[in-house]
Amino acid sequence: MKSRLVWLLLCCIWGSTWLFIKLGLEDLPPITFAGIRFLIASAILFGIIALRRISLPRRRSDWLLLAITGVLAFTLNYGLLFWGEQYISSGLAALLQATIPAFGLVIAHFYLPGERMTPAKILGVVMGVAGVGVIFSNQLSVAGSGALAGSAALVLSSVCAAYSNVLVKARGQHLDPAILASGQMLCGFLPLLLIGIPREGNPFNFRWTPMALVALFYLAIIGSVTAFLLYYWLVRNMDVTKTMLIALVTPVVAVTLGMLVLEEKLDWRTVVGGAMIISGIGLIVVRSVKKSKTALMNRCG
Q: For residue 269, name the pLDDT band (cuts at 50, 70, 90).
A: confident
- The predicted structure's pLDDT at residue 197: 97
User: CA 68 to CA 66: how far, in whole Å?
Assistant: 6
- Which residues fall within 8 angstroms of residue 177, CB to CB, at 6 or more apart? 228, 232
Q: Quick one: how far is CA 24 from the chain centroid?
A: 17
Q: What is the DSSP letter of 55?
A: P
Q: For residue 110, name the pLDDT band (cuts at 50, 70, 90).
A: confident
- Give, in order, the Cα–Cα distances in Å from 244 to each of 128, 130, 282, 293, 297: 16, 22, 9, 13, 19
Calculate the average pLDDT of the chain.
Answer: 85
Q: For residue 212, name the pLDDT band (cuts at 50, 70, 90).
A: very high
Are 78 and 196 contacting, i.e. CB atoms less than 8 angstroms apart?
no
Q: Which residue has the higher pLDDT, 71 or 121?
A: 71
Q: Which of 9-13, 128-132, 282-286 has the largest mean confidence?
A: 9-13
Of 79-83, 113-117, 277-281, least confident by mean pLDDT is 113-117
User: CA 118 to CA 193: how far, in whole Å?
Assistant: 41
Full-prediction pTM beyond 0.85? Answer: yes
Q: For residue 39, name the pLDDT band (cuts at 50, 70, 90).
A: very high
User: Comparing C-alpha atoms, which of 89, 44, 3, 1 is closest to residue 219?
Assistant: 44
User: CA 234 to CA 119: how far, in whole Å?
Assistant: 31
Examine the pLDDT at 298 and tell me if it is beyond 90: no
User: Comparing C-alpha atoms, which of 53, 121, 110, 119 is closest to residue 284?
Assistant: 121
Q: Is 222 exposed, middle or buried (0-12, 13-18, 19+ CB in 10 A)?
A: middle
User: CA 19 to CA 242: how far, in whole Å?
Assistant: 25
Of 54-58, 134-138, 262-266, 272-276, least confident by mean pLDDT is 134-138
User: CA 228 to CA 177: how far, in whole Å?
Assistant: 9
Q: For residue 228, name the pLDDT band (cuts at 50, 70, 90).
A: confident
Examine the pLDDT at 291 and tell me if it is beyond 80: no
- Give, in order, the Cα–Cα distances in Å from 18 to each of 68, 88, 131, 135: 25, 11, 20, 18
- The predicted structure's pLDDT at residue 301: 39
Taking phi over 0 as left and psi of -120 to 50 as alpha, with beta for the rest, 242 belongs to alpha
- The predicted structure's pLDDT at residue 286: 65
